[in-house]
């Protein structure tokens, strides 16, 4: 699976949109982009995933560039409860191995 690069930390004002970037310049055609987040002392929580089209669900939006070398997770109206470490992972789907390899992630702090 391709590697990802994310900023170590970011701040966002409460109520504003949080835009978390991820670089995956070596992504291959059959690799999806997954986003998870981990609130302190909890297991990672699935947020969203996509292949090449932009995706939106009740939690967030995922914007993938046309060349698929980078993506942005958007939390439209950040709240204090969105403070967490956000992980961007790329992996082949279907994946007989299924395991996820986590990078260092981005620590997002939502400021009141």
In this chain, which stretch among 16-24, 39-47, 62-70, 73-81 interacts with another protein, using CB under 8 A? Answer: 39-47
Helices (H) then strands (E): counts for the chain:
0, 9
- The least distance separating another protein from the CB of residue 55, rounded to whole angstroms, comes to 13
Tell the residue number behind the tokens 């993938």, with chain if given. 64
Question: Interface with another protein includes 95 (CB under 8 A)?
Answer: yes
Question: Interface with another protein includes 29 (CB under 8 A)?
Answer: no
Nearest to 84 by CA among 95, 75, 92: 75
Tell the residue number behind the tokens 């980078």, with chain if given. 70
Contact residue for another protein among 8, 43, 53, 112 (CB under 8 A): 43
Coil, strand or helix at 65: coil
> Which residues of this chain interact with another protein, rule CB under 8 A?
32, 34, 36, 38, 41-46, 49, 87, 93-95, 97-105
């Amino acid at each position: 699976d391709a590697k990802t690069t994310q900023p170590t930390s970011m701040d966002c004002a409460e109520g504003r949109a949080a835009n978390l970037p991820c670089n995956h310049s070596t992504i291959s055609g059959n690799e999806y982009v997954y986003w998870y987040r981990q609130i302190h002392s909890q297991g990672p929580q699935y947020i969203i995933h996509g292949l090449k089209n932009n995706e939106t669900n009740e939690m967030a939006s995922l914007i993938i560039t046309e060349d698929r070398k980078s993506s942005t997770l958007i939390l439209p109206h950040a709240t204090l409860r969105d403070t967490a470490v956000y992980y961007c992972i790329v992996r082949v789907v279907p994946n007989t191995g299924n395991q996820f390899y986590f990078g260092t992630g981005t620590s997002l702090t939502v400021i009141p």
